[in-house]
Amino acid sequence: MSGLELIDVCKSYGATRVLECVSLSIAPSEFIAFLGPSGSGKSTLLRIIAGLETLDAGEVRLGGARIDGLAPGKRGIAMVFQHYALYPHMTVRENMAFGLVNAGVPRDEIARRIAQAADTLEIASQLDKKPGQMSGGQRQRVAIGRAIVKQPKLFLLDEPLSNLDAALRNRTRVELAQLRHRVEAALIMVTHDQAEAMTLADRIVVMNDRRIQQVGTPAEVYARPANAFVARFVGSPAMAMLPGIVTGTAGGRVRVSLPCGADLLTAVPAGDMVPGAEVDVGLRPEHVCIAEPGEDGIPATVDLVERLGDRSFLYARLGDGSEVIACAPGFSAVRQGDRVSLAIDAAAAHLFTADGTAHHPQPEARA
């Protein structure tokens, strides 16, 4: 059975190009997250799939059939909006039944579907309440339930957790993770929250500048970003980028010099890298730490300490002004303004050329 397929989808608003030749294939039961900054085109793409926006060129296919010419209600898709979009004068039961009544579904079948969805979402006791009598999290569950009862081939979730407080967002995130195993449909979620995408999605579609920048599992996108944008965007804290100069190779690996005077032998294969080439050296916080006593480290000044209990992030400046983030275990005693010595795991560094192309370390070279 075919899932969703986008083929060269393009969209403009007047002279403003919003989507440019976007192509993507999604399996029938896959959970996909569209992740990107505001204005990247992710919400517009979701609305095109739903039929709420028309495309200028390209095709949208679901289950092997082209649907971009169909009305939204004929596409076999259910959408959960950011702001719930519940009818305030109707009960939960009536809200969930509304679309099915309009579609002519028999009354007994409507009751069966509502009862099943209510049990799945643990809102059976709320069916006779109106939205105004419920919390934000409960209203979000009703919106999801209204989508479930349609038994669609595809669920579209438009920033479904953004209106919830932090504690409720975490709980609902768990519920969504459980829900995806109870429905026989693909799910696409638009989000700007990396934690949601990394936690829930089978694959993440990172979008920026009208295009898809990378498609991959959360581990792939984090560990092997396709370009400098993805490297900076995915990860919290973000990957630090230090300016560097290729000074040569050793054992087939690239050696890089930093402006602060540090010399790094990376695990990036030499390839076509030439001495003198300017690169950005990408470092995740977990690959920078405080040097052990007697270890030859890089002097730095701490600008901020972010203590998270099990670990602390040290935002520091090197001698040339470059910014780097180090990770320390536990509740670090380091304070803002302290001078520290940092050790860099050079074998974990990524290199990015001037056009943003990524060059990743080889695992066997690190070993």
| 147-195 pLDDT per residue, tens | 888 888 898 988 876 666 666 667 777 777 777 777 778 899 998 888 8
| pTM, rounded to two decimals | 0.86
Residue positions counted in the chain: 367
Do 93 and 160 lie in a common domain?
yes
The DSSP-derived string for 134-176 is S-HHHHHHHHHHHHHTT--SEEEEESTTTTS-HHHHHHHHHHH
Residue 182 and residue 102 in one domain: yes
Q: Work out whether strand 263-269 and strand 253-257 pair parallel, antiparallel, or are unpaired.
A: antiparallel
262-279 burial code (b ≥16 CB/10 A, e <16): bebbbbbbbeebeeebeb
Residue 185 dihedral angles phi and psi, to the nearest 5°: -160, 160
Average pLDDT over residues 317-343: 93
Could you say which of 204, 233, 262 is where a domain stops? 233
Judgement on whether residues 97 and 246 belong to the same structural domain of the protein: no
Which tens digit of pLDDT belongs to each residue from 195-229? 888 888 999 999 998 999 999 999 999 999 999 99
CATH number of the structural domain spanning residue 247: 2.40.50.140
| 222 and 256 part of one domain | no
Is the same domain home to 182 and 217? Answer: yes
| Statement to judge: residues 67 and 171 lie in one domain | yes
Instruction: Answer with the one of 175, 210, 233 that is the final residue of a domain.
Output: 233
Same domain, 222 and 250: no
> The domain that contains 152 carries what CATH number?
3.40.50.300
Q: What domain range includes position 205?
A: 4-233
Question: What is residue 367's predicted lDDT score, i.e. its pLDDT?
Answer: 46
Kindly state the tokens that stand for 308. 């998270």
Is 215 in the same domain as 261?
no
**Does 247 lie in the same domain as 123?**
no
Instruction: Kindly give the pairing relationship between strand 4-13 and strand 263-269.
Output: unpaired
- If asked whether residues 250 and 144 sit together in one domain, one would say no
Give the mean model confidence (pLDDT) for residues 303-312.
93
User: Are 92 and 115 in the same domain?
Assistant: yes
Residue with tokens 């006791």: 125
**Residue showing tokens 């984090």:** 222
Cβ atoms of 50 and 72 within 8 Å: the answer is: yes
- 135 and 14 together in one domain: yes
Encoded tokens for 258:
């930093």
- 205, 233, 261: which is the final residue of a domain? 233
At residue 307, φ and ψ (nearest 5 deg) are -95, 120
Confidence tier at 26 by pLDDT (50, 70, 90): very high
What is the tally of structural domains in the chain? Answer: 2
Question: pLDDT tens digits for 27-59?
Answer: 988 999 999 998 899 999 999 999 999 999 999
